[in-house]
Amino acid sequence: MEAEPVTLLPIVPWALLAAIGVGIIALTLWAIVRGPVPGSTGPKGSVRSAAVRGAAVVLLVLAALRPGWPGSEARTAVADVDVFFVVDTSTSMAAEDYNGTGTRLSGATSDVMAIAKELAGARFSLITFDNKATVRMPLSQDATALQTAMTTLQPQNPRYANGSSVTGAGALLKDRLAAAREQHPGRPALVFYAGDGENTAAEAPVPLPVDANSVSGGAVLGYGTGQGGRMKDTSDTEVRYLQDKGSGEDAVSRIDEGQLQNIASQLQVPYVHRAGSQPTADMLAKAQPGALTPTNDDGPGRVELYWLLALAGFLLALHEPVRHFIALREVRGQRLPPKAKEPLA
């Protein structure tokens, strides 16, 4: 079987990487020629240290080239679209009423990654909100980075929760949409809002400041049930679940589909309740705008190799602090005064 060719997807322009590479080679040669450096054991130590430092940086530059080869099959749904995921990470997303006893955030994570797989080739951005809104990931085609960002998300610690608005990410989403539109005019933008609609801020939610004409499609995804679910208390090891301050019983969070449908109306996208039993394709069929050009063809996935190079560079970089630590111990040992001899009895 013929081996798959390695492909490169540099994260910065080729010219910049080439300039960095030339600079590293020049600095490494200069360090070798200039002679011993502090902490080295003669000329050989100097050459070795300079070579290790240069090799570490070269590995990082190679990692920036993002080498890889075709791997598993991936659905090629669209190649020229921006996808914005707006995910609620407030404490209520820890409620255990998704597909049985799963958390709502686990359901949102599953759906986001399923959507990303179906829309392979698009650029993805992740915005989360609880007390405040945060861009967790700017627009990028790196689905691996999106998966890492989603799998590391946790519901807000209740100790720091002081009320969240269901439209709290509106201003940030508006800014990100405008920036993307300025960078690539005419490029369609999809917005997928994932949350439970529970507004715990003291004030009623303000309307989203987003112009619906700037959104080509997407969906509002709702998680939770009318019966509600309990939330594990991650801030207290003695109490397993959050307690209702009024009754002293386990607190229960319930989905507010009215709020979610209102958000969907403002964005002019469909609202879909996600219980964990419906296929993602059904939801995407409602969410895809006419601007997209989906296809039934399977395109090649990609096995990323950059992390191996980055790890190797990190391990080589450890040589420097270890070398300096050993040198420091030797200097301290030389400076310690000799122990005084005890007088003979």
Contact 198, 95 (CB under 8 A): no
Contact 200, 253 (CB under 8 A): no
Q: What is the largest CA-CA distance in the chain?
A: 100
CB atoms within 10 A of CB 241: 17
pLDDT above 60 for 1: no
pLDDT at 292: 54
More confident residue, 334 or 192: 192
Q: What is the average pLDDT score of the chain?
A: 82
Give me the percent of the chain exceeding a pLDDT of 90: 43
More confident residue, 108 or 50: 108
Give dist(CA 128, CA 139) in Å, integer: 14
pLDDT at 7: 73
Give dist(CA 156, CA 129) in Å, integer: 9
Give dist(CA 208, CA 231) in Å, integer: 28
More confident residue, 218 or 280: 218
Q: Which of 228, 235, 90, 62 is nearest to 155 (CA)?
A: 90
Check: pTM over 0.85? Answer yes or no: no
Least confident stretch, 25-39, 68-82, 173-187: 68-82
What are the C-alpha distances in Å from 14 to residues 9, 18, 21, 61, 204?
10, 6, 10, 11, 50
Burial class (CB in 10 A: 0-12, 13-18, 19+), 270: middle
Q: Which whole number is the average pLDDT over 265-276?
A: 93
Number of H helices, E strands in the chain: 9, 11
Give dist(CA 109, CA 330) in Å, integer: 52
> What residue ranges of the chain are covered by domains with CATH 3.40.50.410?
78-294
**Domain topology for 78-294:** Rossmann fold (3.40.50)
- pLDDT band for position 97 (cuts 50, 70, 90): very high
Question: Residue 294, SS3?
Answer: coil
